[in-house]
Structure formats: structure tokens, C-alpha cells
Amino acid sequence: MKRSLLARGVPVVVLALLSACRGQVRPEEVPGTYALNKGAAADTLVLGSRGSYTHLFVPLGQAAVRDTGSWKAEATPTGLRLTMSGFSMHPRVPIDSQPPVVRGFWVVDVGRTLGGRLRLPVDEDIGVYYVRR
């Protein structure tokens, strides 16, 4: 039975995509600009090559909120893990009736999209990630 070129090529394409998605992330790949893939606000994270980061959050119709801090990478048995110090997941403009923004640590395992781009999961259950531009 003859198989078409398309049928023979599909397994190769699937394997290539899976290997790109599962490839080990090296620490030198991490620095760059990441944008949150969902939500109305512009939410950008810039990881510097010397271990600093800038988090820029721009809610609709409000002033931008800019946070800075440090990050470090650590190899684990399952891949690369980042720890962000002084991080606030959802910074906001201070309003008298709101509690102050709490800053702390964000520990996140670096992954890849199906296309091979780096991503930092925020909520994998609903598909929210910071994705490398």
C-alpha cells in the first residue's frame, strides 16, 4: 500500500514540534522580553542578562506601574526554574481603598510553546503565560 508524501511527512513534523517544545532551556536563553498572553492590560516582563528584571503593567485607562527586582535561574531535574525577588504578579496603581501591593518571590518553571518560544506559566489551567517575544 502506497502512502502519500503528506502521510509520510506528518510524523516527522509532529516529532519536530514535540522536540522543540520539550527541548531543555538553557539559562542564557532566558533574558529577553515576555508579554502576558491574556487580559486587557498590557503586562510586560523584561529579564535582563545580569539578573535584573523590569515589570511594566499598564491597566486600561490608568497610569503604568513599573516594578524592578532581581531574578536567578536554577537547574532542576525537570528543567530550568526561575526565582523572581521583589515581584508582584498583579501590580496596580495605589488607591486609598485598596490594600498596598504585596511584593515577594515568584518561583516559576520555564517552558516552551509548541513553536519553541520560551514561556513562564502564570495559570496553566486556563492557558495564561508570559511568552517571550
Task: Give tens-digit pLDDT for 73-99.
Answer: 999 999 999 999 999 876 554 555 566
Domains of the chain with bracketed CATH: 5-132 (2.40.128)
| Nearest to 33, CA basis, from 50, 54, 51 | 54
34 phi and psi angles, rounded to 5 deg: -125, 140
Cell, residue 37 = 498572553
Please tell me the predicted confidence (pLDDT) of residue 76. 96
Look at the pTM and tell me if it is higher than 0.75: yes
Cell, residue 68 = 524592578
Please tell me the predicted confidence (pLDDT) of residue 88. 87
Task: State yes or no: pLDDT of 20 exceeds 60.
Answer: no
